[in-house]
Amino acid sequence: MDKSPLQLPSFSKAQLALRNGQDREEIWIAYKGFIYDVKSSRLWRGGKHYEHWAGQDLTLELSEAPHTEKVFDKFEAIGILL
């Protein structure tokens, strides 16, 4: 991530929830306080990735994933979750 947390805009959980690939075109997820835009990933088409839905904080769910948090290196952090 090339931006410091102080340079990123902040979003509430309600604002994040609207970026679920259903209500708006944006497909965002949160992890460890950062919000990531995952719209470029074919695995998040329609706002769903296996049993996970966009517009949510997925920090606790990562332990069930077959990948590590390194997957977030592919995406730009675009905000901070309040």
How close are the terminal C-alpha atoms of the chain, in Å? 18
**In angstroms, rounded to a whole number, what is the distance separating the alpha carbons of residues 14 and 74?**
25
Q: What is the architecture of the domain spanning 5-81? A: Roll (3.10)
Q: What is the pLDDT along the chain (82 residues), one digit of tens a residue?
A: 455 666 999 999 999 999 999 988 999 999 999 999 999 999 999 999 988 899 999 999 888 788 889 999 999 899 999 9
Asked if residue 81 lies in contact with residue 34, where contact means CB atoms within 8 angstroms, the answer is yes
Q: What is the pLDDT of residue 21?
A: 95
Q: What is the pLDDT of residue 64?
A: 79
Q: What is the pLDDT of residue 23?
A: 81
For the entire predicted model, the pTM comes to: 0.88
Q: What is the pLDDT of residue 70?
A: 93
Break the chain into its structural domains and give their ranges: 5-81
